[in-house]
């Protein structure tokens, strides 16, 4: 595999700037390990897991990667701030357990006081040699500035509005967001682009725009390692460009409507969860219809978080194969880009000579005779 070198690959000591997103109810130890094992970097989502469950997950990844028990584990764990508000003050705080496993990165997102948990990591690491890289998900330039300048995080994750799962309804598209963050933080921490990324060409484009890595979530849902059921994956495969929509309706039905202001979710919207919401059904009725459908095994109310890139994939393949394809395509795209500059350079450095003038024709004998008679050529 041809390595791609960026500030992120150097920071994490990896070969590819392609990361697997931390997705609660979707990412698994096998998925994260598959991406890390191929030279990228895999995250798992903590979600509502207990400390013991997270320890089991990380232990499984460690075993798959054949990493010694006392060695750093090249896997990251993503935490949701509003869930940490409940768990870290409980009798089962999860952050210390994860840090004890020597993960090399943690990711914090969607909380009203993320600095509190960032400091928890730093205080833990201050007592040992191993240092954990801190990723912070940001949905605006202002958030990125605060995370970089005030919180001093190691990595900024710039999440565009295209992203599946949860994010801000006010986030800019990545095409605008990445250059804006780069301009605001020219000497800041590495930037990871997140949202709607499904192909190697998109990866290459974002890297040339200023991103130091990309994180893919939806693309890795189309893998056997993903926790989604076969029924859910069949719906994903059949999805189109019009199949996703941002809304708070999914969390209302799922009874997880505790997110910070302006944070909602992008999911598959071609089902009755959105139909019930748009029909104006009362919340209690929508919740009951959701529960009844799921108890019956119906796909009418499935909640499947997915980004706009869901339409670009139509098959289920192993995560390692998906990773290799995207990395290879990104390399090919990056290698082909200089041709555009070379062609322009060649034209300007060696301009084409002006077209040669046609050779003068020898006048016909008759024309020569006319010149002699009248003193001038006759045309």
Question: What's the mean pLDDT when you consider all of the chain?
Answer: 92
Please list the alpha-helical segments (H only) found in the chain: 7-12, 29-37, 51-65, 81-87, 95-100, 114-125, 141-145, 174-184, 200-209, 230-237, 249-254, 272-278, 283-295, 319-349, 365-374
Q: Give the tens place of pLDDT for each residue, 149-196.
A: 999 999 999 999 999 999 999 999 999 999 999 999 999 999 999 999
Closest Cα to residue 278, out of 253, 257, 304, 260?
253
Evaluate if residue 378 carries a pLDDT over 90: no
Q: What length does the chain have?
A: 379
What's the confidence (pLDDT) of residue 249?
96
In this structure, are residues 102 and 75 in contact, taking their beta carbons and an 8 Å threshold? no
Domains of the chain listed by start with CATH number: 7-228+313-335 (3.20.20.70), 244-305 (no CATH)
| Structure-model confidence comparison of residues 371 and 338, the more confident one | 338
**What pLDDT, in 10s, does the model give residues 105-125?**
999 999 999 999 999 999 999
pLDDT recorded at residue 374? 39
Q: What is the 3-state secondary structure (H, E, C) of 2-40?
A: CCCCCHHHHHHCCCCCEEECCCCCCCCHHHHHHHHHCCC
At residue 16, the pLDDT reads: 99
Report field, pTM of the whole predicted structure over 0.85: yes
Among 88-97, 280-289, 364-373, the range scoring the smallest mean pLDDT is 364-373
The 10s digit of each residue's pLDDT in 253-288 is: 999 999 999 999 999 999 999 999 999 999 999 999
Q: What is the DSSP letter of 172?
A: P
Show Cβ contacts of residue 259 under 8 Å, excluding neighbours closer than 6 positions: 82, 110, 166, 251
Tell me the pLDDT tens digit for each residue of 295-352: 999 999 999 999 999 999 999 999 999 999 999 999 999 999 888 887 555 655 555 5
């Amino acid at each position: 595999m041809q390595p791609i070198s960026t500030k992120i690959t150097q920071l994490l000591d990896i070969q590819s700037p392609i990361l697997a997103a931390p997705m609660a109810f979707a990412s698994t130890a096998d998925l994260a390990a598959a991406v890390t094992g191929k030279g990228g970097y895999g995250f798992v989502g903590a979600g509502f897991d207990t400390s013991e469950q997270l320890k089991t997950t990380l232990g499984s990844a460690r075993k798959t990667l054949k990493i010694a028990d006392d060695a750093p584990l090249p896997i990251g764990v993503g935490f949701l701030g509003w869930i940490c508000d409940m768990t870290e003050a409980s009798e089962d705080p999860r952050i210390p357990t994860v840090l004890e496993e020597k993960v090399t990165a943690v990711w914090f997102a969607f909380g009203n006081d993320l600095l509190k948990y960032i400091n928890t990591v730093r205080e833990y690491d201050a007592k040992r040699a191993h240092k954990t890289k801190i990723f912070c998900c940001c949905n605006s330039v202002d958030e990125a500035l605060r995370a970089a300048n005030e919180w001093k995080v190691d990595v900024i994750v710039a999440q565009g509005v295209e992203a599946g799962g949860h994010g801000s309804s006010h986030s800019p598209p990545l095409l605008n967001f990445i250059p804006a963050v780069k301009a605001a933080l020219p000497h800041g921490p590495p930037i990871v682009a997140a949202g709607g990324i499904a192909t190697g060409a998109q990866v290459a484009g974002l890297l040339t725009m200023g991103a130091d890595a990309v994180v893919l979530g939806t693309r890795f849902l189309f893998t056997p390692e993903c926790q989604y059921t076969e029924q859910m994956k069949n719906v994903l495969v059949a999805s189109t460009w019009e199949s996703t929509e941002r809304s708070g309706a999914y969390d209302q039905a799922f009874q997880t409507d505790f997110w910070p202001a302006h944070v909602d979710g992008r999911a598959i919207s071609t089902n009755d969860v959105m139909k019930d919401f748009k029909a104006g059904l009362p919340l209690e009725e929508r919740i009951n219809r959701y529960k009844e459908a799921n108890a019956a095994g119906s796909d009418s109310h499935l909640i499947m978080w997915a980004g706009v890139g869901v339409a670009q994939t139509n098959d289920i393949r192993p995560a390692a194969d998906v990773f290799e394809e995207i990395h290879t395509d990104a390399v090919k795209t990056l290698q082909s880009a200089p041709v555009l500059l070379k062609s322009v350079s060649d034209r300007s450095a060696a301009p084409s000579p002006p077209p040669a003038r046609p050779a003068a024709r020898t006048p016909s004998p008759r024309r020569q005779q006319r010149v002699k008679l009248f003193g001038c050529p006759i045309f």
